[in-house]
Amino acid sequence: MGINLQPLLGYQALTDVVIYQYDRAITVQQLISDIAYLDQYLPKHQHLLNLYENRYHFLLGLLLGIKRQSVHLFPSNTTEYTLDFLEKKYPDILMLNQDNLACGKMNFLDIKILLQEKPVHFLAQSFLSFKEDSFTKDNIVIFTSGSTGKPKPFVKKWQDFIVVAEQLATKLATKEHAMILATVPAQHTYGLETSIIMPLVNGFSIYDERPFYPADIEKILMKQARATILISTPIHIRACLNTQVRLPFLQYSVSATAPLESDHARQFEQNYNAPLHEIYGCTEVGVIALRQPTQSPLWQCLDDIKIEITQPINTEEHDYCLRTTRSIQTFILNDYITDLNDNCFLLNGRKSDVINLAGKRTSLAYLNHHLLNIEAIKDGCFYQPELKDDKHQRLVVFIVLEKNFFTLKALKKALQKKVDTIFLPRQCYIIKQLPRNKTGKILNNEIKLLYSEKNASKNI
């Protein structure tokens, strides 16, 4: 008997592996059995907040929610403020998590504990099925990261993610039986699209854990010894190169959430003998375009995306409007793009990144590129403080050092060959770690708070 789990699950047989969990291979049959068992104990609810780091427990919660036609909430963070906001705005929330101390007044369920009580010989009475409109209802509320301001909710359908998943597998020429290994969380748009929905829709397997250190990635690849797709970020790409870990069995790697240095992409492909692709997208839309930076600087839009020039804002700049069949339908891009031709284009930085000082213009992305190419710097970023007196507006930098000693004078000397003098930093703060979120983004509010805290401190 065949199985009919489409459109979400693209597996061909009950024995196909969905998840590799530690030393265990979890098949479609096991997945169906676990969902049937858990469905008996899942309380009634309208909204679902799935916080599992473990990808199998996250996946079980996700599929149970779709089966129940729950509205899935994906906030940008899980701070006390955010959870309080969700509790007030969205009624009847069920939190899936293994830490009931974080749930506040929300209903709480740990499906991991429930599974431990599941009888060994429990059998599902039917195949996993979904209601006909489960994928076309507005059943997802996903929030922007707040990297450029206050997080905003956007309503989506599961069909939006399915469309992206089908295109990604085709355009990346993914082979069958590939295993997805991701350093990014499943709750964020990038991680949800690439490490959960893409493998499900196309019948790939998923590795359960989320490695953090390069050595963890190496250990998993060596142990699994199977063709693997690495879903990651520029921070992890750079860390793998710096630590010189071995990454065998890579079919290809994917990077997103921040610009990837072309030199790093080239070195990564040479070291690990596997293509490295970049994704350009945003929370509001999802994946917009792809490129392999070692082959071309141009971004190629997915088939359901169309980018058009809108009416000129002034004589030099235009807005670019994205049109799609996804829930958002239209979206004005937050980035400067050029050379738009046949749905291919060049990216020239975010509009919010543009810096204007003394009549000269550059971008934070450009400045950070040269900052991170300084050998002594492990991580860092430029920041433009909000000052009332524009005449004295200057930039500052935050850096994490590879070495124990570094001066502002040495920093300026390293930068002055590539950066105009007006953009050289006035202050430099040495810190232990930048306030990045789980996908590697530096949030505007966090860096603003860091500056406020450090401004009164002694600088170098």
Asked if residue 1 has pLDDT above 50, the reply is no
Domain with CATH 3.40.50.980 in the chain: 24-156
- Give the residue range(s) of CATH 3.30.300.30 domains in the chain: 358-454
Q: Does residue 457 have a pLDDT over 80?
A: no
Highest mean pLDDT among 96-100, 119-123, 216-220, 307-311 belongs to 216-220
Q: Quick one: pLDDT at residue 29? A: 92
Helix/strand/coil (H/E/C) assignment for every residue in the chain: CCCCCCCCCCCCCCCCEEEEECCEEEEHHHHHHHHHHHHCCCCCCCEEEECCCCHHHHHHHHHHHHHHCCEEEECCCCCHHHHHHHHHHCCCEEEECCCHHHCCCCEEECHHHHHHCCCCCCCCCCCCCCCCCCCCCCCEEEECCCCCCCCCEEEECHHHHHHHHHHHHHHCCCCCCCEEEECCCCCCHHHHHHHHHHHHHHCCEEECCCCCCHHHHHHHHHHHCCCEEEEECHHHHHHHHHHCCCCCCEEEEEECCCCCCHHHHHHHHHHHCCCEEEEEEECCCEEEEEECCCCCCCEEECCCEEEEEEEECCCCCEEEEEEECCCCCEEECCEEEEEEECCEEEEEEEHHHEEEECCEEEEHHHHHHHHHCCCCEEEEEEECCCCCCHHHCCCEEEEEECCCCCCHHHHHHHHCCCCCHHHCCCEEEECCCCCECCCCCECHHHHHHHHHHHCCCCCC
pLDDT surpassing 90 at residue 57: yes
Model pLDDT, residue 221: 96
pLDDT > 50? residue 13: yes
| pLDDT for residue 250 | 96
Options 3.40.640.10, 3.30.420.40, 3.40.50.980, 3.40.50.1100; CATH for 24-156 is 3.40.50.980
- pLDDT band of residue 225 (cuts 50, 70, 90) is very high
Q: Write down the CATH superfamily of domain 358-454.
A: ANL, C-terminal domain (3.30.300.30)
Q: Which residues make up the CATH 3.40.50.12780 domain(s) of the chain?
A: 158-351
pLDDT digits (tens, 9 = 90+) for 396-416: 889 888 766 677 788 888 888
Quick check: 6 pLDDT over 70?
Answer: no
Average pLDDT score, the chain? 87
Superfamily (CATH) of domain 158-351: ANL, N-terminal domain (3.40.50.12780)
Render pLDDT for 170-217 as a digit per residue (tens, 0 to 9): 999 888 789 999 999 999 999 999 999 999 999 999 999 999 999 999
* pLDDT-derived band at 103, boundaries 50, 70, 90: low
